């Protein structure tokens, strides 16, 4: 390959579409374009429809085409993408997106994330970015302080709670194997005794995914009933009593449909009493944030007794996608699960903390910077106020639902997820399910707000989550109006 460089005399702006080294002028021009486009988007986000229910055919018409032969100006490429993709951009970072459990991006986090791209550090090893590695360590320390977790716990910044669950359960697998005399990371699981897993039935799908990835088996786990979203602790004790040797127990703090919490203290007591030993992993994707407010902290009491904890950054911490974190009490088990050899990455004995020894990735984005900037900018007080405000929104909305005829709150809403349904009198169960399915579609198409559907205890339901820093009381009023309007449109048709 020949790489041509413009000579000193000819060194002006590179031709559009060329990848010849021209490090600053082209970069600055492209960044300025992206900045202007982002400013226009964010400046209008509160006004634009939240949902873009583009069909696959629309998006394919906009974007599915052969690789271009000739290039173009980098800023034009960015602008062209935004224009073409517009029909499919969901304002999920905006204040009226109540779907899933999303969260937005605070000013500090978004700016930090931009900077992370600009300085492009590789968080694979201490040597590849001492600044990055130390920042990640500091973020983990700050998060432990924020959530009042033991300071000695090891941890890692992940891409989300899914990978954080994988990290915690990989450490659990390592611990259980060691108790049985083998090293799962080194030896594999073939021909070894099974490693029993007991989990609540209400666990998030990502737990099953992690068990599948780790060779522990989605269906090999014993799933304990979880009425109302919280694990039946007596059933857990009975299941564990049938299990010999070390067991892995998975519990949850903040169930995704309605926000219920497992009774973690009681679960931890059961684990502590298991003769073969039990590793307690807690999926606390958003529920961990209950610990920030004194009035909510009892919900997550006992999480400090866990062996590993998974949580999300891109939900309630309001950092941009993607970000999450995992904490593990036994750092040796974590490092044994993820140790990597190879002469060219082998950590220098004198160097500091080695990020890639604590999680599944090697080269990785400097995700911790967005979190550092947010924690620095808002501090404990800012996050505590955010948590309290979000819970006030959820509880205000739940109270409105309870007072509104024809709407049913389906479960208590202890935190930020509110699960409800349209239930006009005189409608049978199947028709009520159909009405609620149609209502979710209609609410999304309406565009004022975004909510998602679910099935709660056999009933088709609607759910709204309140974890975006930008949401204000006016947005809650719009949500209530939209829910009421869609009811006025659909209920007469369903009952008439
Ligand atoms: C969102 C969520 C997850 C998965 O997190 P990702 O951010 O999608 O990786 C796991 N558990 C719970 C309870 C969740 O709410």
State if residue 254 touches ligand 1 by the CB under 6 angstroms criterion.
yes
The strand pairing partners of 260, in sequence order, are none
Query: 484 φ, ψ to 5°?
Result: -65, -45
pLDDT tens track for 52-73: 779 999 999 999 999 999 999 9
Task: Give the number of the atom of ligand 1 that is nearest the alpha carbon of residue 324.
Answer: 7
Instruction: Say whether pLDDT at 343 is over 70.
Output: no
How confident is the model at residue 34, as a pLDDT? 98
Whole-number Å distance, alpha carbon 172 to ligand 1 midpoint, is 19
Position 340 scores a pLDDT of 78
From CA 439, how far away is CA 490, in angstroms rounded?
Answer: 7
| Distances, alpha carbon 493 to alpha carbons 407, 424, 460, 461, 490, in Å | 16, 11, 18, 18, 5
d(CA 55, CA 59): 7
SS3 label, residue 283: strand
Question: Measured from the CA of 253, which atom of ligand 1 is nearest?
Answer: 13
Q: Give 431's pLDDT tier (boundaries 50, 70, 90).
A: very high
Task: Report the pLDDT averaged over residues 333-349.
Answer: 74
7-31 residue pLDDT tens: 433 445 567 777 777 778 989 999 9
- Average of pLDDT values for 39-46? 95
- In this structure, how many other beta carbons lie within 10 angstroms of the beta carbon of residue 70? 6
Q: Is the pLDDT of residue 369 over 60?
A: yes
Category of 181 on φ-ψ map: left (φ > 0), alpha (ψ -120 to 50) or beta: left
Taking all residues of the chain, what is their mean pLDDT, rounded to a whole number? 94
158 lines ligand 1 (CB under 6 A): no
pLDDT of 10: 42
Task: Tell me how far the alpha carbon of residue 40 lies from the centroid of ligand 1, in angstroms.
Answer: 30
Give residue 51's pLDDT band: very low, low, confident or very high (50, 70, 90): confident
Q: How far is the CA of 285 from the centre of ligand 1 (A)?
A: 5
Regarding the beta carbon of 125 and ligand 1, being less than 6 Å apart is answered no
- Choose the residue to mutate in 251, 256, 317, 465 for probing ligand 1, maximizing ligand atoms within 8 Å of C-beta: 256
Instruction: Determine the pLDDT at residue 145.
Output: 98
Q: What is the pLDDT of residues 268-308, one digit of tens each?
A: 999 999 999 999 999 999 999 999 999 999 999 999 999 99
Confidence label for 352 from pLDDT (cuts 50, 70 and 90): confident
Judge if the upstream peptide bond of residue 322 is cis by omega within 30 degrees of 0: yes
pLDDT at 1: 39
Three-class secondary structure of residue 340 per DSSP:
coil
Residue 141 above 60 pLDDT? yes
* d(CA 488, ligand 1 centre) in Å: 34
Question: Which residue's alpha carbon is nearest to atom 12 within ligand 1?
Answer: 285
d(C-alpha 13, C-alpha 21), whole Å: 10
409 lines ligand 1 (CB under 6 A): no
Which secondary-structure segment (H or E) carries 453? strand 452-456
Is residue 3's pLDDT more than 50?
Answer: no
Specify the pLDDT at position 346.
56
Query: Side-chain half-sphere of 355: how many Cα atoms within 13 Å?
Result: 32
| pLDDT of residue 349 exceeding 60 | no
**pLDDT at 348 > cutoff 60:** no
pTM higher than 0.85? yes
Instruction: Give start and end residues of each alpha helix (H) in 348-453.
Output: 368-403, 429-446
Evaluate if residue 162 carries a pLDDT over 70: yes
As a whole number, mean pLDDT of residues 371-381 equals 98
477-485, long-range: CB within 8 Å, 24+ apart, which pairs? 478/96, 478/448, 478/449, 479/96, 479/98, 479/397, 479/448, 479/449, 479/451, 480/397, 480/400, 481/448, 482/443, 482/446, 482/448, 482/449, 483/407, 483/443, 483/449, 483/451, 484/404, 485/446
Query: What's the pLDDT at 345?
Result: 54
Helix, strand, coil shares of the chain as percentages rounded to 5?
Answer: 45, 10, 40
Kindly state the greatest CA–CA separation across the chain: 83
pLDDT score, position 495: 87
- The answer, yes or no, to whether any atom of ligand 1 lies below 6 A from the CB of 283, is yes
- Among residues of the chain, what percentage have pLDDT more than 90? 90
Question: Which is nearest to 181 in space by CA: 94, 246, 236, 124?
Answer: 246
In this prediction, residue 342 has a pLDDT band, given cuts at 50, 70 and 90, of low
Give the mean model confidence (pLDDT) for residues 341-353.
Answer: 64
What confidence tens digit (pLDDT) does each residue in 86-109 have?
999 999 999 999 999 999 999 999
Predicted local distance difference test score (pLDDT) of residue 72:
95
Mean pLDDT across 315-330: 98
Buried b or exposed e, range 137-159, using 16+ CB within 10 angstroms: bebbebbbebbebeeebbbbbbb
Measure the CA–CA gap between 278 and 270, rounded to whole angstroms.
9
- pLDDT, average across residues 165-185: 97
The arithmetic mean of pLDDT across residues 444-457, rounded, is 96
User: Which pLDDT belongs to residue 344?
Assistant: 58
Spatial CB neighbours of 175, under 8 Å, sequence gap ≥ 6: 246, 279, 307, 330, 333
Which residues partner with 295 through β-bridges?
A: none
CA–CA separation, 405 vs 403, rounded Å? 6
Q: What pLDDT does 19 receive?
A: 79
pLDDT in tens, 390-410: 999 999 999 999 999 999 999
Indicate whether 4 pLDDT > 70: no
Compute the distance between CA of residue 325 and CA of residue 278 in angstroms, rounded to an integer: 22
How far, in Å, from the CA of 100 to the mean position of ligand 1?
A: 9
């Amino acid at each position: 390959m020949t790489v041509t460089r413009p000579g000193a005399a000819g060194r002006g702006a590179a031709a559009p579409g060329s990848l010849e080294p021209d490090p600053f002028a082209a970069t600055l021009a492209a960044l300025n374009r992206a900045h202007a486009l982002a400013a226009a988007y964010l400046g209008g986000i509160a006004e634009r429809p939240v949902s873009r229910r583009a069909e696959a055919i629309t998006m394919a018409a906009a974007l599915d085409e052969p690789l271009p032969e000739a290039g173009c100006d980098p800023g034009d490429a960015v602008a062209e993408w935004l224009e073409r993709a517009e029909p499919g951009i969901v304002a999920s970072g905006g204040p009226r997106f109540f779907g899933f459990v999303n969260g937005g991006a605070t000013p500090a986090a978004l700016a930090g994330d931009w900077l992370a791209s600009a300085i492009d550090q590789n968080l694979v090893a201490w040597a590849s970015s001492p600044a990055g590695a130390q920042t990640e360590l500091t973020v983990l320390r700050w998060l432990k302080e924020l959530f009042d977790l033991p300071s000695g716990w090891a941890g890692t910044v992940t891409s989300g709670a899914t990978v954080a669950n994988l990290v915690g359960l990989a450490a659990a697998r390592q611990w259980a194997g060691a108790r049985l005399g083998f090293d799962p990371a080194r030896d594999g699981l073939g021909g070894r005794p099974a490693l029993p897993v007991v989990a609540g039935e209400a666990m998030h799908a990502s737990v099953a995914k992690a068990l599948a990835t780790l060779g522990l088996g989605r269906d090999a786990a014993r799933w304990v009933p979880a009425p109302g979203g919280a694990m039946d602790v007596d059933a857990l004790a009975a299941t564990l009593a049938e299990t010999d040797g070390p067991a892995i127990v998975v519990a949850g703090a903040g169930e995704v449909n309605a926000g219920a919490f497992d009774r973690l203290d009681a679960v931890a007591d059961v684990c502590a009493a298991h003769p073969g030993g039990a590793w307690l992993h807690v999926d606390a994707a958003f529920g961990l944030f209950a610990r920030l407010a004194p009035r909510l902290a009892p919900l997550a009491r006992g999480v400090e007794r866990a062996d590993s904890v998974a949580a999300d950054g891109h939900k309630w911490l309001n950092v941009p996608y993607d970000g999450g974190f995992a904490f593990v009490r036994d750092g040796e088990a974590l490092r044994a699960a993820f140790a990597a050899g190879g002469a060219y990455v082998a950590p220098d004995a004198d160097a500091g903390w080695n990020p890639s020894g604590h999680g599944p990735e090697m080269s990785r984005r400097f995700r911790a910077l967005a979190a550092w900037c947010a924690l620095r900018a808002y501090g404990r007080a800012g996050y505590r106020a955010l948590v309290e405000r979000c819970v006030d929104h959820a509880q205000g909305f739940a109270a409105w639902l309870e007072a509104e005829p024809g709407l049913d709150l389906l479960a208590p809403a202890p935190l930020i997820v509110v699960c409800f349904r349209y239930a006009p009198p005189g409608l049978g169960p199947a028709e009520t399910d159909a009405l609620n399915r149609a209502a979710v579609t209609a609410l999304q198409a309406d565009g004022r707000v975004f909510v998602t559907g679910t099935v709660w205890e056999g009933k088709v339901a609607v759910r709204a989550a309140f974890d975006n820093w930008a949401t204000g009381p006016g947005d809650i009023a719009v949500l209530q109006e939209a829910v009421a309007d869609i009811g006025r449109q659909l209920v007469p048709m369903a009952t008439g």
